[in-house]
């Protein structure tokens, strides 16, 4: 019996060893085959471009407000400042002033910056335009709701003495110029955090040379100049009402005339609105 038991154990061990050798020698099962229905997109090549690290208001210096940000190379136009082409841009642009506002994360374009050794107001004026100051108050500037970059009409009011005895003087009003852009209110050139600024005493308007003459004459002749705020929908090119404004000007190009008297000589200045 003892021999039979030993023989049985040996046989079982041999069978186990054979099964283990079979399992180990069997090929590993193949993994699942994955078929991509869509072609694999190539990786996007990124470059670093100069951006605003925080909001930069118009007229403020860019010092400490610039940083590099990764940007898709295919979407980087020639106007962007690239680190691989201008590695010292942050240092080189120190002291520059923002000609327009930048939002945080917005790419920097050098065309929107000016050097601090140039006059800011002259830099933001379009070619052929002038800046002229007009005295204002809350009652003559739409209650103080006029802000930089708004558009206004200039209305002149004056009293004319009556030609009849014991009759009060007559009041004349006339729209001298139309659709002028407001460049600044006192020293403020834009809104502050979207809120209305304090009413100033001087509005700086964008005019052409002929309009500058007419406005200067109107200030001398009038008792009061009133700024009438225009809607954005009819004052900026591309807005629905701007075409109607241009058509109105074409139909009545000689309507706005300011008569200036200098040393006894009368000159009619035609305003081009």
Domain CATH code at residue 90: 3.90.1210.10
Q: What percentage of the chain reaches a pLDDT higher than 90?
A: 13
Are both 141 and 216 inside the same structural domain?
yes
Q: Which of 115, 146, 173 is the last residue of a domain?
A: 115
Question: Is 170 in the same domain as 99?
Answer: no
CA dist 156 and 154 (Å) reads 7
Residues 151, 218 share a domain: yes
Query: Are residue 144 and residue 186 in the same domain, yes or no?
Result: yes
149/111 same-domain check: no
**Whether residue 98 sits in one domain with residue 138:** no
Instruction: Indicate the number of domains in the chain.
Output: 2
Contact by Cβ (8 Å): 18, 36: no
At which of 93, 115, 137 does a domain end? 115
Q: Which residue has better confidence, 260 or 199?
A: 199
Q: Are 205 and 132 in contact (CB under 8 A)?
A: yes
By residue range, what is the domain housing residue 55?
46-115
Q: How far apart (Å, rounded) are the C-alpha atoms in residues 75 and 68?
A: 15
- The pLDDT, as a whole number, for residue 100 is 78
- Asked if residues 120 and 97 have their Cβ atoms less than 8 Å apart, the reply is yes
Give the per-residue pLDDT at 156: 85
Q: What is the largest CA-CA distance in the chain?
A: 156
Instruction: Classify residue 210: in a domain, yes or no.
Output: yes
Burial of residue 206 (CB within 10 Å: 0-12, 13-18, 19+) is: buried
Pairwise CA distance, residues 142 & 187, whole Å: 19
pLDDT score, position 7: 57
Q: Which two tokens stand for residue 160?
A: 């004319």
Give me the half-sphere count of Cα atoms (radius 13 Å) on the Cβ side of residue 143: 1
Residues 223 and 158: their CA atoms lie apart, in Å, by 5
Residue 32 lies in a domain: no
Position 250 in a domain: no
Specify the pairing of strand 130-135 against strand 151-160: unpaired
- Tell me, yes or no, whether 212 and 133 share the same domain: yes
List alpha helices for the chain, DSSP H: 2-25, 89-92, 120-124, 209-221, 242-251
Both 165 and 204 in one domain: the answer is yes
What average pLDDT does this structure show over 232-250?
69
Same domain for 58 and 100, yes or no, is yes
Percent of the chain predicted with pLDDT > 70: 58
pTM > 0.85: no
Residue 240 located in a structural domain: no
Q: Which tens digit of pLDDT belongs to each residue from 44-95?
A: 888 999 999 999 887 778 888 999 999 998 888 888 999 999 999 999 998 8
* Phi and psi based region of residue 9 (left: phi greater than 0; alpha: psi -120 to 50; beta: remaining): alpha
The residue out of 90, 115, 140 marking a domain boundary is 115
In a domain, 247, yes or no: no
Q: How do residues 182-193 score in pLDDT, each as one tens digit?
A: 888 876 665 555
CA-based nearest residue to 81, from 60, 54, 107, 102: 107
Out of 40-49, 104-113, 162-171, 264-273, the most confident range is 104-113
């Amino acid at each position: 019996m003892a021999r039979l038991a030993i023989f049985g154990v040996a046989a079982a061990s041999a069978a186990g060893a054979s099964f283990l050798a079979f399992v180990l020698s069997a090929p590993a099962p193949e993994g699942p085959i994955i078929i991509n229905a869509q072609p694999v997109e190539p990786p996007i090549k990124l470059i670093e471009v100069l951006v605003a690290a925080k909001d930069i208001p118009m007229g403020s210096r860019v010092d400490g407000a610039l940083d590099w940000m990764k940007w898709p190379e295919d979407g980087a136009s020639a106007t962007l400042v690239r680190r691989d082409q201008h590695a010292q841009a942050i240092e080189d642009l120190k002291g520059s002033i923002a000609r327009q506002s930048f939002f945080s994360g917005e790419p920097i374009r050098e065309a929107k910056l000016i050097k601090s050794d140039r006059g800011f107001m002259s830099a933001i004026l379009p070619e052929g335009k002038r800046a002229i100051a007009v005295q204002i108050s809350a009652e003559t500037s739409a209650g103080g709701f006029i802000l930089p970059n708004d558009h206004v009409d200039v209305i002149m009011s004056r009293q004319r003495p009556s030609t009849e005895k014991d009759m009060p003087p007559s009041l004349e009003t006339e729209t001298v110029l139309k659709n002028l852009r407001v460049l600044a209110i006192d020293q403020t050139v834009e809104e502050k955090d979207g809120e209305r600024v304090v009413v100033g005493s001087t509005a700086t308007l964008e005019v052409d040379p002929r309009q500058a003459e007419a406005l200067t004459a109107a200030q001398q002749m009038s008792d009061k100049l009133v700024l009438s705020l225009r809607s954005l929908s009819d004052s900026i090119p591309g807005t629905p009402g701007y075409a109607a404004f241009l058509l109105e000007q074409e139909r009545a190009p000689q309507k706005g005339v300011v008569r200036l008297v200098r040393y006894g000589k009368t000159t009619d200045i035609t305003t081009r609105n």
